[in-house]
């Protein structure tokens, strides 16, 4: 590797989420501020809403008279 061209690596770096969760990981930034993390993301918390796609095939068949 070439010397003096790589960014400094902070281990551990302090990561803060908007929900209040705090983590420590290695990163090239000393502190990171996230808007969403695994503690508050709807997919991981079980609050995800599924979009009802029922009726798409029927609408297609009606539109093209199949």
Q: How far is CA 27 from CA 7, 15, 62, in A?
A: 10, 9, 54
Nearest CA to 38 out of 46, 49, 30, 26 is that of 46
Domain boundaries 1-48, corresponding CATH code: 4.10.80.400
Identify the pLDDT of residue 48.
67
Identify the pLDDT of residue 52.
52
- Going residue by residue through the chain (66 aa), what tens digit of pLDDT does each one get? 788 899 999 999 999 999 899 999 999 999 999 988 888 887 777 776 655 566 777 788 888 887
Domain definitions of the chain by residue range: 1-48
């Amino acid at each position: 590797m070439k010397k003096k061209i790589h960014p400094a690596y902070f281990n551990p770096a302090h990561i803060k989420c908007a929900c209040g969760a705090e983590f420590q990981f290695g990163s090239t930034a000393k502190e990171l501020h996230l808007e969403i993390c695994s503690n508050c993301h709807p997919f991981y918390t079980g609050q995800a809403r599924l979009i009802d796609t029922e009726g798409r095939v029927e609408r297609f068949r009606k539109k093209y008279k199949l």
